[in-house]
Amino acid sequence: MLSQFVPIAKKRTLSDLNFSFAEGTNALGRLDDNSEGLLLLTNDKKVNRLLMNPENKHQRVYWVQVHGDVQQIALDQLENGVDIILEKSIYRTLPCEAKIIPSPTHLPPRAHPVGTHFKTTWLELKLIEGKFHQIRKMTDKVGHQTMRLIRVSIENITLNEWIPGSIQEIEAEDFYDKLKLLH
């Protein structure tokens, strides 16, 4: 589903969830239509400002299934930063952590499964920034198309084994503490 409340024809959005959200609730960081995983929602505008400011360097962890057999040179390139196109300009991504991980075993099935007739590799990427389609652009830049993208954590709030579409409410103080925000 799209990480927004405004309905769009033939697309599922947050408004389709069976939950009564507080007025003014917005997503912190977006997941595109082909991405999945942890999405934080709040009606506290201060959290959005603090969390999305790159100067605060809040870590986000993603599991990324890419096409092909990833070699160390590609991991090194990802870790050192690569040039991607953002808003018609070249942008150098900040250094990040990149490593190959075993295929996750507890993931829910996808509506559009990734084919099994070609080699894929699972990566774990830890970033402190989140530009428009950044991970997809980064993996493309090093020669590996992203097949599946899952955000598994933002700071100390983790996806664990939550069910897709489930909602977990967190008390404000715990929310700030887990996100390492001063309030």
What is 24-86 written as a DSSP string?
T-EEES---TTEEE--EEES-HHHHHHHH-GGG---EEEEEEEES---HHHHHHHHH--EEEE
Helices (H) and strands (E) in the chain, counts: 4, 10
d(CA 37, CA 128): 17
Instruction: Work out the number of other CB atoms within 10 angstroms of the CB of residue 66.
Output: 25
d(CA 46, CA 50): 6
Q: Is 32 a catalytic residue?
A: yes
Backbone phi and psi for residue 40, each to the nearest 5 degrees, phi listed first: -95, 135
Q: Which residue is catalytic, options 16, 32, 76, 83?
A: 32
d(CA 41, CA 21): 9
d(CA 39, CA 57): 18
Classify 55 in phi/psi space as left (phi over 0), alpha (psi -120 to 50) or beta.
alpha
Q: Which positions are catalytic?
A: 32
